[in-house]
Each structure stands twice: as structure tokens, then as C-alpha cells.
Structure 1
Amino acid sequence: MTQQYQPGAAGLAWRKSSFSGGNGGQCVEAALLPDGQIAVRNSNHPDAGTVYFTRAEMDAYIKGVKAGEFDDLT
């Protein structure tokens, strides 16, 4: 995993799951960077830090989520 913690990451088109709670909770959001990396942050605290993943890292993670490999975390 490639990690860089930078405040803000302004100017990106952030997206949040439609399953995120409307009451301000469960707000993980992601944005695609021009170099193809994916930025992930907590929308409740956007200046707290952003984690960056390569496309391959995010693809592996999403496949694991879809396969149920993280179901015990909820």
C-alpha cells in the first residue's frame, strides 16, 4: 500500500457511497487522481489526512470486499 498523508487534497472530484449515512456518519469517500491513484479520506474530517492507493491495490481491496473477505469487520 502506498501511503501519503496530506491535508485537503483540494480540487479532486470526491465520491461517497450511496450507502453512507445521511446523518453525517459512515462517510468514507474516494477520488481518482490524474496519475491513476485513488485517494481515500473521511469526509467528516477531510483535513485529517488522505490515504493514496494504486489502481491495483484498490482493485485487490474491492475484489476482497465483494468476495466477503471483510464481512467480519461490520
Structure 2
Amino acid sequence: MSSETGWIISSRSTGNGGSCVEARRQDGRIEVRNSKAREAGTVVFTVEEWDSFLFGAKRGEFDQLLTD
């Protein structure tokens, strides 16, 4: 398996160019960026950190951030 992938756009992103999150695997790490502000840079995670984040998100650990 290749250690690099192209950018993947979130399926939750809107089709009209808003709320777009992109991610890719690069040099054994996961990079995440805002597709509307690519020049702002990326947030970089280890594969283990990314796996832990996704696991927590799927379990609802961050749901309280969505409520006022």
C-alpha cells in the first residue's frame, strides 16, 4: 500500500463550495486542511492520533461541541 494519497474531500462538505475539509496521507502522517483556505496550511496527525480522533468522533465524544 502506498504511503501517500491524494486529497480526499469530506462527503459532509456542501456542494456549493462551503464547509470543505480535505485530508490525505503523506509521509506516514495524516494532513487535514480547509479547502477554502489552503494557503493557511494543514493540521498534521500521526496515524495513531487520527485513528483515535475518528474512533472518538464515531462514538459521539465531541457531540457536546455542537450544542450551545
When the two structures are superposed, what TM-score results if normalisation uses the length of structure 1?
Answer: 0.77
Question: Which digits, 9 at most, give the CA deviation of each residue in 1:11-65, with x for residues without a partner?
Answer: x6110111111121111110110x2100000000111111110000000000000
Unmatched tracts of structure 2, length 5 or more: none
- Cα distance in 2 for partners of 1:39, 1:65 equals 17
Q: Which structure carries more strand by proportion? A: 2
- Give the letter for the 2:65 counterpart: L
CA RMSD of aligned residues (A): 1.2
Unmatched tracts of structure 1, length 5 or more: 1-11
Provide runs of 4+ in structure 1 moved above 4 Å: none
When the two structures are superposed, what TM-score results if normalisation uses the length of structure 2?
Answer: 0.83
- Cα distance in 2 for partners of 1:14, 1:44 equals 13
Greater relative contact order, per chain length (Cα 8 Å cut-off, separation 6+): 1
Sequence identity percentage: 55
Number of residue-to-residue matches in the alignment:
62
